[in-house]
Chain A
Amino acid sequence: MFYRETGQFKTSYGADQQIFPIRQDRIGIVLLLAVAFVGVPALGSEYFFSAILIPFLIFSLAALGLNILTGYAGQLSLGSAAFMAVGAYAAYNFQVRVEGMPVLVSFVLAGLTAAGVGILFGLPSLRIKGFYLAVATLAAQFFIVWCLTKFPYLSNDSSSGVISVPGVSILGFDFDTPRSKYLLVLTLVTLLALAAKNMVRSTTGRAWMAVRDMDVAAEVIGIRLMHTKLLAFAVSSFYCGVAGALYAFCYLGSVEPDGFSLDMSFRILFMIIVGGVGSILGSFLGAAFILLLPIFLDIVLPALSELLHLPFDGATVSHIQLMVFGALIMFFLVVEPHGLARLWQIAKEKLRLWPFPH
């Protein structure tokens, strides 16, 4: 009922090929963007922006990057955090070393630097596949962190190796409040997500999916494997690099190489597994699940234990939170192995038939 597209006739190729061909989807996305750009900034509190929404958007972007590589092009990677580190340090260096460099330009250059490094570490993918490739990208993870620790030049000779980023200012406007930073991050993430959505339904995206499904067959029908795989590494690393730059400039304000650890790469991988491999929406859902659920539990559990008069101290609550979190991940994966995005798809199909299912 809600999703019936009866009566929506397409009279031109343009109309048929738009990103959201169903009217309800278009209305939905416009409403969502309106809420995100107008409603949330008007109502949200400082805590909401700087501790929840900004990290959520940044990690969504990183998950989106990994999803392009792993979900669409089928190349498993464990180096996402390292590519974020490249982005963060590159943006910092462009800002500090080049006088008068606009912040947005340095974000783009950071993405391009990460893309370059991504291509370099993507080279082994031409010969090795699957888990073996994951091990090769693991090398990127360790090498890049080691490199950033080893060479003081990369952290502008900071005696501690930690970089503290300068403020963000675009065309004379200072992004110094959590609200303005949120709007900046939201704008960038929206643009990049739309670009990704378009990319995956273009020739490039179809080539990625062909390679993912069977690379020999893809080669036979004329897809250049090297070009396609390396492009996937480049685009994916670009997204991760921009996410890393935002992580440093709009979220933490100061970062150290050790912060971009293997642990973080795994978290990003879990985001796409829980959210949905090979789905743009899944990247956002997964990031929300992995990032926000622990915070939610952290706030709810102590209140709950007080309400029920359970003798829990802080440490016990933290342990319970970890257990509940782990159990929920397993629950969702058992119930729906294709991730949260698939749940949303099923819901849409049901809504289409409602209230008259067969």
Chain B
Amino acid sequence: MIKKSKQFIVAAAVSAACLAGAFGPAQAAEEQYFMLPSYRVGPYGANGAAWYGGFIDYLSYVNMKGGIDGVQIAWDECETEYNNAKGVECYERLKAKAKAAPGPIHVMSTGISYALVDKTAADKLPLAMMGYGLTMAVDGSVFPWAFPLVTTYQMQASAIIKFLKDKNAGSLAGKKIVYLYHDSAYGKEPILALEAESRLNKFELVQIPVAHPGNEQGAQWQRIRQEKPDYVIMWGWGVMNMTALKTAQKMGFPREKMIGSWWAGSEEDVVPAGDAAKGYMSATWNVSGKGVPLIADIEKTVYGGGKGNLSDKSKLGTILYNRGVSAAVLSVESIRAAQAKYGKGKAMNPEQVRWGMENLNLDDARLKALGATGLLPEVKTSCDNHEGSGKVKLQQWDGSKWVVLSDWLEGNKALIHPLFQADAKKYAKEKGITPRDCAAEAKKK
């Protein structure tokens, strides 16, 4: 009986809504528009499909729960194939639509984000680079529109060193660490940070580059065998990760002493390596699995309602899927923060969204309310800190799933952040940018 009356109410509500739609005055629906220059084909298509699948699923989830305080989310995808020129084309194509009420722009590619940093600043659109991209944009005084949210390669490298230090009773003095990296912008960014750490902690750092794509690493691992390092820190991407794990197995280097970056620590990296990946560790700024209430709820609500974005549902709950969800959570929360200041239930303009991203305070209480406790670290941003967290967890592959080894570990901020500021200062000089005065802005508030 109760069920029936419920059905009736729903039916009545639906028909009322239809009538209102048909006859009532057309209400200007508030809408926040996300442009998604995504990639689902090409060499990294599998990664992109999982990440953007998670991102879009969360946006659908928010819409199904009534939007951001009533503001519905709309989005368009545009295929970039991880190609810089195509990414720029997509951005230019969609930006006119995003001018009124944009969501943060996510491109999931370091190359494309580099090309967009200047363009978004000129167009005044917020650019988010979560765990990739131009890391010196942490300094918001030079980069008001770019946000390397959550954490950066440098802070991650520093956190990994911290993890190793804790493992070795607080000292790495006299140890030897090999840094094996993809010879591109992505692999080179952490070098300065690691060099600074090696001076501070007195360990020996050996740098070994791997040329793109990295499907042949015999020479590199031969060298590693000669060097006999205590640990190998690996900044790999795509096929390079699988090859490294397999070659390490062949050369007899223990996988338990290899630590990858967060782009070298997804299911896509370890599953193809099979047995060779067992015991391998990696950093991550989000956990995997469906154990997090939010992910389980997305599966129930979005996939239950037949609106899921993944064509391959087995990707649900993988590292990259959950990372997409985390990125979407941060984007939506930024808009919520902006709404709290500029008016609830209204679509936010670019300047307001930017303010929201710069004054984001995603604490444990809020994460709990979202059902995302433990999914991602707390994030609190400000004008001079567009990163907001700098924390990662360490996880280990047990042959079938990622097992989390540590709590959130923060890199050595006092050591790393001055490096960003120095880089940003140089950049501002080259480009002729006058930095904002963060201290004065903070005082005004």
On A, residues with C-beta under 8 Å from B are 45-47, 50-52, 55, 96, 146, 149, 156, 159-162, 164, 166-167, 176, 251-254, 256, 258-259, 295, 298-299, 313-315, 317-319, 322
Contacts and interface: CB of A to CB of B under 8 A. Distances in A.
Interface residues of B, number: 41
Contacts of A176: 122
A51 to B, nearest CB: 4
Interface in B162-187: 183-186
Contacts of B111: 256, 258-259
7 contacts: A160-B134, A160-B188, A161-B184, A161-B188, A167-B432, A256-B111, A315-B40
B121 to A, nearest CB: 10
B197 to A, nearest CB: 15
Interface string B178-212: 00000111101101100000000000000000011
A146 B183 CA distance: 10
B328 to A, nearest CB: 17
Given A46-B96, A256-B111, A319-B41, 20 more contacts: A47-B92, A50-B88, A96-B430, A159-B192, A159-B423, A160-B185, A161-B184, A164-B114, A176-B122, A252-B85, A252-B88, A253-B115, A254-B114, A295-B89, A298-B79, A315-B40, A315-B41, A315-B45, A315-B311, A318-B40
A164 B424 CA distance: 12
A294 to B, nearest CB: 8
Given A258-B184, A259-B84, A314-B38, A253 B79 contact: no
B380 interface: no
Nearest to A314: B77
A147 to B, nearest CB: 12
Interface string B67-99: 000000000011101001100110011011000
B44 interface: no
A258 B187 CA distance: 13
B142 to A, nearest CB: 12
B93 A47 contact: yes
B188 A253 contact: no
Interface of B: 38, 40-41, 45, 49, 77-79, 81, 84-85, 88-89, 92-93, 95-96, 111, 114-115, 117-119, 122, 134, 183-186, 188-189, 191-192, 211-212, 311, 423, 427, 430-432
A319 B39 CA distance: 12
A345 to B, nearest CB: 31
Nearest to A92: B430
Contacts of B427: 164
A159 B212 CA distance: 18
Query: Which 5 pairs across A and B sit closest by C-beta, in order of nearness?
Result: A51-B92, A315-B40, A160-B185, A51-B89, A318-B79
Contact of B114 (A45, A256, A322): A256
Contact of B117 (A161, A251, A254, A314): A254
Contacts of B119: 253
B79 A317 contact: yes
Contact of A258 (B192, B212, B311): B212
A149 B119 CA distance: 25
Contacts of A156: 430
B431 A162 contact: no
A258 B188 CA distance: 13
Contacts of B188: 159-161
A51 B94 CA distance: 11
A45 B96 CA distance: 10
Name which of B78, B115, B183 has the most chain A CB atoms within 10 A of its CB: B115
A161 B212 CA distance: 14
Contacts of B191: 159
Contacts of B432: 166-167
B355 to A, nearest CB: 25
Name which of A45, A146, A159, A298 has the most chain B CB atoms within 10 A of its CB: A159
